[in-house]
A and B are shown apart, each in its own frame.
Chain A
Amino acid sequence: MSWLLILLPLLGSMVIIVSPGRLAKQLALVTSLVVLGVSVAAAVVFDGWGRGTWELTSSVEWVKEWGLVLQVGADSVSLILVLLTTFLMPLAILGSFNAIQSRTKEYYGWLLGLQAAMTGVFLAQDLVLFYVCFEFTLVPMFFIIAIWGSKNRAHASVKFLIYTFTGSLITLAGFLTLAWSYAQANGGVWSFEIAALTNHAASALSLHEQAWLLLALLIGFGVKVPLFPVHTWLPLAHTEAPTAGSVLLAGILLKLGTYGLYRFVLPMCPEAVVEWAPIVAILSIIGILYAALVCWVQTDVKKLVAYSSVSHLGFCVLGLFALNPMGVEGSILYMINHGLSTGALFFLIGMMYERYHTRDMGELGGLARTMPIWATFMVFFVLSSIGLPGLNGFVSEFLCLIAAFTAGGSGAYPGVLGPWYAAIAALGMVLAAMYLLIMVGKVVFGPTKATLRHDEQSGLPVDLTVREITVLVPLAVGCIVLGIQPDLVIDNTATAVADTLAVYQGIFEESMPGAAAFVETALPGGAR
């Protein structure tokens, strides 16, 4: 079943390339819906909900002597992210129906190829498959930006490719060193199985070696997340990509980074993580505030939302490095929620752009009067992104922050962060309300600009079409459901998260930072 999830989209993309171009979008939609169906079926037969086990596993031997065995499987966290992927894909395809008019065959082919790679990343159980898929996501995205992007697409796509590729090469170096060290320890028997390598790394590597491994992994995944200060590829790529490209970038591709942090960094180098978590947390807090302030002065709506991703993902990383169950659960929820609400915002901006051919806040205004349905959705998803309680964004943000806050107290809540981290990061909540509401005030409300002309050539009515509403409604439903029933995710992943964090309990018990010592070190910027 896992192979099916990876290969079906690939098959679909082959079929699209050989079939006539006018059928491309329908074929792509059908394929993605079938994959969605398969993933739902997988979720139903999946036995790992609420347990930490790996299910749906299967392996193919490739070169056994070198340890090259391709293995797939899913635990609850992976499967939830796979579901997010398969859920967003049909919407991304449906959302491109009108926007993409040239070279449709290639476009949908690449999109499905991208889906295969992304699913592969989440389902991979060995490093070879993981890394291949991780890198292969770059190729379709590169072409999607370079061919169907807007004005500055050439620069954006090259920068995206080289930047993230450089980052992941360093990660590859880290992985290879780890595998080599494993082979050394096991009498020359190579293996790339993630579970085995994780065990080896966590138990056999010295603190020094773990720190280097952490650095190598952090560079690759940090670029992907993106963590301050390696985020500059993102605003460019997001802004220049076509709508579906931006949606998938924000929705899934960034999550590859946080998933990597969760899957590899946390379990592989626990001691180094405990040592370095304050630094990573400070970087993510800088990212939160810095990107939020940068958002404030943007004039391009799409760029604003792009920078807001940098700010939001800061919360996600902060939650992960709080190293307690609330934070990691919050972080997993954040991955999904950010995919839903920021994805939807990119859809909405795309829909607006197709009608008015501008994203400049100075030129837009008063769209609530002309496009009431669009405006309703826009306000809704902005609220979700701001973190209004009752909608999805709130739960994850709250959990990440409370986790960072309590991590480091004496007694029941060990950790290496503390109240100051959360208090400063929480300023991001206020700033998020500021920049997003200012944007809404300029674009959605206010007097309708006389200069704003709806483009009749676009073939779209003034307000949203049924197709566009169909794209947005599932996302909105997702926002509400996860807002009032976050237990759907939390309970089902609880054990998996607890297993991942089990190693930290031992470390904290050994070296519990006392409350007094903690207060000294947890002052802002005081991570030694």
Chain B
Amino acid sequence: MIDVTLQLARIIQAMPPVPASEVVTDTGQWWIGFILWCPLISLVLCGLCAACRVKSKLPAWITVFSLAISFVLTLLLASMDSPPERVELFKWINVHWDGGSFVANFAFYIDSLTILWMSFVTGLGALIALYASEYMEPDVGRGYSRFFAGISVFLFAMICLVMGDNLLMLYLGWEGVGFASYWLIGYYYQKPQAVAAAKKAFIVNRIGDLGLALAIYLIWSTFGTIQYNELISVLDAGTYSPVYENWSVQAIPYLLMLAAFGKSAQLPLYVWLPDAMEGPTPVSALIHAATMVTAGVYLVARMYPFFLLAPESLHVVAWVGGLTALLAATIGMAQYDIKRIFAYSTISQLGYMFLGLGVLTTYGAAYHVFTHAFFKAVLFLTCGAIMHGFAGQLDLRKISGLRRMKGWRIVSWTMFIGCLCLAGFPLTSGYFSKDAILAEAFVSHGPGFEVLGWIAIFTAFLTAYYTFRVWCRVCAGEVRYEPGDEHHGDDHDAETHGREFHPHAPRFAINIVLLLIAAGALLAAVPYFMGNEVEHATGGWVADMVNDSTAATGVPGHPEHPGTAAHGAEAHHGSILGMDPHVAMYSISACVGGLGLLLAFWLHLWRRQDADRLRSWLLSRFWTRWLPVAMENKWYVDEIYHAFIRAPLWLFGHIFYAIDRYIIDGLLVDGTARLPRLLARCFQPLQNGMLQSYAVTMAGGAVLIALLMLLMLQFFTGGSVS
């Protein structure tokens, strides 16, 4: 019996000895694993709730509770202030052979960048789950468990992504969040648009994932490992030799970029994000604004040393970011669906983050991620409250004067706070984080970075305009509203049919979450003023968090990075209009933001008819017509993709299928199979039953054989002689 047990143990146990990893695993910190396990437990419990058809809000409470535990544990981890460390959970994929191994385990790599990201991922996750407990109320007993299971899956994957200690674990989280996003966008699965949007999100993200996968292959073949700590030490020591001399190190950043642009919705892969708004609004707030879409920024920040190995790649990052910011802002200006406007604004703000990464301010990018998470979450959650109260109404032309309506005050003013931050109004959090990026665009040197800086400033103006366009239309002005036509999967019909529509104002859970996150959005400015650990450094707490991590490894002569040749000669420091960008940007961006804000108030609050007049003026002129039309139609990017990518592939599918059926199978296979029958048909006439013909055939055959033998004989003898 013992033998049998031993045998079993041997089957289950890994056989080859695993080389002891030199990283210390602190067994005293087993609890760190629970940051990851909590959402998993919540997933399992929600699944059980779905199986048992629970008809209460139990799944919501389970999810909120477990995410809150994750958040508390994250704070605990943050408070310990320990140096970067690894925590092993269990083994995953290990292939060992003579002279090499491929190792990817379930393990955490915890440095300050991880903690920075985790703090808002788990915190906002818990709060938005709380919000959703009220928002998804109409679905209790139907999709409720499914929804919260999806949220748990998302948090699980996101935590893997952020905390994983190797690229494969990041990949797990990367695809995992994509899948969670698929699950939740397609939550209203009976709606064809929702299903299509979910599919599109997953497939477009898969293109990005392809880049990540190839980057992993290349990194592994070049550096022989995919663990962050080992990669960093190999990079530091410079002991790697590029396998493909000419291009391996150069290609890595571009592949990573493809991945980042897919997940973070940048050109050319941004098209999925606006459509993703088909999902329930808490999902849009959590996944498609605050957390998941910043994964691309995280990836670039985490892998920053690889970008520095091929510095030109950062120029590409900067330009793609800047252009995406501009493009999305122009589209956002011309949309009427408030959720879509904020979706385009998310794309635009993500563009800023990539611009920041490209101009060597990982700090600025990370800080903008941090502040953006709060204020964009607020904006989406207020949208959700409006949708919830007005039966799915999202058209900003059909709701007005919200702040004067009873019970909507919190929604309007938290939205106002969110708008201020997004517009970069002086002294709000968005102001500081955006300035850090804008200023650096003028400081850093790169191809056309100055133009890029002005593009970014112009975009800041557009941002302020479209943001307050929403607020002025929806929250200010005279009181007027029409209910929407969809009831986001619930049965409001009883309320609306037969009598007048009454919007129902949000209740406790929604309001408290709005207030908390709005407060967070305002307080996100505080870290900027917090003291730095290192003297002469600016940027406060976030800068410290970034500088202690891989995101700052090897950034040369970087102003936020004391220690290296700080700032270098002043001659290298760019300028804007002859002033120091860091100082000048405070006033420039304030002016630009103020202008945009005033324009929005003018066109959309004080003299709303002017906006319509402007539009019709533009439309009536042949030379300007294209502008509003193209902007309202999102520059036809979806149509272009459809025509140039999807349609040809689809055609190829049909052509290949035709080839398969008629040429390979029909002609070659069945044709070959018919050969014997054809052959038989040729000789059939010989069997005609006439004695004479048989005799003739026989004689002919004998002659033929004789001839053949003669020929062969000659051939063989000739062959042997020569």
Contact = CB atoms under 8 A, between A and B. Distances in A.
A410 B95 contact: no
Contact of B673 (A162, A409, A411, A486): A162
Given A293-B656, A494-B96, A519-B246, A412 B224 contact: yes
Interface in A420-457: 422-423, 426-427, 429-430, 433-434, 437-438, 441, 444-448
Given A402-B102, A402-B216, A491-B16, A296 B206 contact: no
A490 B15 CA distance: 9
User: Mostly helix, strand, loop or mixed at chain B's interface?
Assistant: helix
A492 interface: yes
Nearest to A298: B657
Interface stretch (A44-52, A92-100, A341-349, A352-360): A44-52
A389 interface: yes
Given A368-B189, A429-B206, A294 B98 contact: no
Interface in A375-412: 383, 388-390, 394-395, 398-399, 401-402, 405-406, 409-412
Contact of A494 (B8, B97, B171, B243): B97
Contact of A405 (B94, B218, B652): B218
A49 B102 contact: no
Contact of A389 (B176, B246, B660): B176
B404 interface: no
Contact of A410 (B93, B168, B243, B650): B243
B7 A44 contact: yes
A388 B175 CA distance: 7
Contact of B244 (A44, A389, A419, A427): A419
B202 A433 contact: yes
A487 B664 CA distance: 40
A18 interface: no
Contacts of A106: none
A519 B362 CA distance: 35
Interface in B257-287: none
Interface in B135-183: 168, 171-172, 175-176, 179, 182
Interface residues of A, number: 75
B201 to A, nearest CB: 10
Given A383-B179, A411-B241, A445-B195, A43 B207 contact: no
A126 interface: no
A413 interface: yes
A229 B224 contact: no
Nearest to A366: B190
Given A409-B243, A438-B199, A487-B14, A402 B217 contact: yes
Contacts of B14: 487, 491
Interface string A486-528: 1110111011001000000100000000011001000000000
A326 B196 contact: no
Contacts of B668: 229
B652 A293 contact: yes
A494 B95 contact: yes
B210 A426 contact: yes
A494 B16 contact: yes
Contacts of B94: 487, 490-491
A326 B189 CA distance: 39
A468 interface: no
A489 to B, nearest CB: 10
Contact of A401 (B92, B192, B213, B660): B213
A444 B14 CA distance: 39
B221 A413 contact: yes
A398 B168 CA distance: 10
Interface in B531-550: none
Contact of A430 (B95, B171, B206, B241): B206
A519 B244 contact: yes
Contacts, number: 187
B427 interface: no
Contact of B12 (A159, A488, A505): A488
Given A441-B195, A441-B199, A294 B657 contact: yes
A389 B175 contact: yes
A329 B8 CA distance: 21
Contacts of B224: 412
A383 B198 CA distance: 14
Interface in B189-227: 189-190, 192, 195-196, 198-199, 202-203, 206-207, 209-210, 213-214, 216-218, 220-221, 224
Contacts of B499: none
A495 B213 CA distance: 27
A437 B206 CA distance: 12
A430 B218 contact: no
B48 interface: no
Contacts of A366: 189-190
A495 B207 CA distance: 36
Contact of A399 (B11, B93, B189, B196): B93
B97 A422 contact: no
A296 B653 contact: yes
A423 B214 contact: yes
A185 interface: no
Given A490-B95, A494-B96, A437 B203 contact: yes
Nearest to B183: A379
B192 A447 contact: yes
Given A290-B656, A294-B653, A441 B93 contact: no
B190 A43 contact: no
Contacts of A401: 213, 217
Contacts of B11: 43-44, 49, 488, 492
Contacts of B718: none
Sorted nearest first, the 6 A-B pairs with minimum C-beta distance are A50-B15, A409-B243, A232-B665, A405-B217, A389-B172, A297-B653
Given A390-B176, A498-B98, 6 more contacts: A290-B656, A369-B190, A398-B213, A429-B209, A487-B93, A491-B15
Interface of A: 43-46, 49-50, 159, 162-163, 229, 232-233, 290, 293-298, 324-326, 329, 366, 368-369, 383, 388-390, 394-395, 398-399, 401-402, 405-406, 409-413, 419, 422-423, 426-427, 429-430, 433-434, 437-438, 441, 444-448, 484-488, 490-492, 494-495, 498, 505, 515-516, 519
12 contacts: A44-B7, A159-B669, A232-B660, A368-B189, A395-B93, A413-B243, A430-B203, A430-B210, A433-B206, A491-B15, A494-B16, A519-B244
